[in-house]
Amino acid sequence: MGHLVEENLKTVRQQMELACQASGRKIEDVELLLATKTVPLEKLQRAIQVGETLFGENKAQELRDKFPLMQQYNQVEWHFIGHLQTNKVKDVVKYVTLIHSVDRLKLGQALHHQLVKENKTMNILVQINTSYEESKFGASPETALELVEQLSQFETLNVKGLMTIGKLNATNDETRHCFRLLKCIQTQIREKKFPRVEMEILSMGMSGDFKVAIEEGATIIRVGTSVFGQRYLPDSHYWNENARQDD
């Protein structure tokens, strides 16, 4: 099993390199985040043994369960990439360095409230629903600027960029359109020069479309099944909506 993880990682890394070459980008400008939902510990350990250090979890409960078991690997950094309910904020801010999925003001307020209590700050990305699919979370592209401006009022939150999920089961062109739209929103937000807002990170691209995402400017790709294999449970087990969200 470990051997398979190693081989898959090698393949993904090669594909990343080719996509960077094709788009004239430097490989060090794109980070690989391994999406770990339901992935057994031994597979994660295998990935760490071959040098992977960035992991993303989708559910607060699973993050809470895994974190203590992984603490011995102090080089590992955890991000939160799933839909975050306001009542789970406390769990998440304890463990992660970046939350990819801030998609509404109410969540920003809940994060701020908890972070003030803990005298902490948190790096966040604003999630945008670039495919306009009703089954997906994320602020609409039309409200993105307003949401970023609202979030920039909270001195505990550092907006580091944007996240999106490309259109699922779509053609490369449709997916590319989603990623281009995110890039376009990034440019618009940069021009506004909001306080505590940097637009350095574009988290976009998953197992099925990360090559297109890299070509369109992704700085973090979120890859799970291409490295760890198919999950045993259907995606509906992880998401409140009907769409597959982070493969």
pLDDT at 234 over 60: no
Mean per-residue pLDDT, 32-48: 94
pLDDT of 117 over the 70 cut: yes
In the predicted model, is pLDDT for residue 31 greater than 70? Answer: yes
- In this prediction, residues 68-79 reach a mean pLDDT of 91
Nearest residue to 194 via CA among 237, 160, 143: 160
Please tell me the predicted confidence (pLDDT) of residue 95. 95
Residue from 145, 140, 126, 139 nearest 188 by CA:
145
pLDDT band at 245 (very low <50, low <70, confident <90, very high): very low
Q: Is the pLDDT of residue 6 over 60?
A: yes
Burial class (CB in 10 A: 0-12, 13-18, 19+), 194: middle
Average pLDDT, the chain: 92
In terms of Cβ atoms closer than 10 Å to its own Cβ (0-12, 13-18, 19+), residue 164 is buried
Counting residues of the chain whose pLDDT is more than 70, the rounded percentage is: 92
Weakest-pLDDT range from 22-26, 33-37, 60-64, 133-137 = 133-137
Residue pair 151/126 in contact (Cβ under 8 Å)? The answer is yes
Strand partners, 58: none
Q: Rounded to whole angstroms, how far apart are CA atoms 113 and 33?
A: 28
- pLDDT value of residue 17: 98
Q: What's the pLDDT at 169?
A: 83
pTM score > 0.85 for this model? Answer: yes
At 247 the pLDDT is 30
Question: In this model, does residue 238 exceed pLDDT 90?
Answer: no
pLDDT given for residue 163 in this prediction:
98
What is the tens place of the pLDDT at every residue in 212-222? 999 999 999 99
**Residues 130-150 pLDDT 10s:** 999 988 999 999 999 999 999
Burial 172-188 (b: 16+ CB within 10 A, else e): eeebbbbbebbbebbee
> Residue 239: its pLDDT value, please?
46
- pLDDT at position 74 is 87
Q: What is the pLDDT of residue 135?
A: 85
In tens, the pLDDT along 171-197 reads 889 999 999 999 999 999 999 999 999
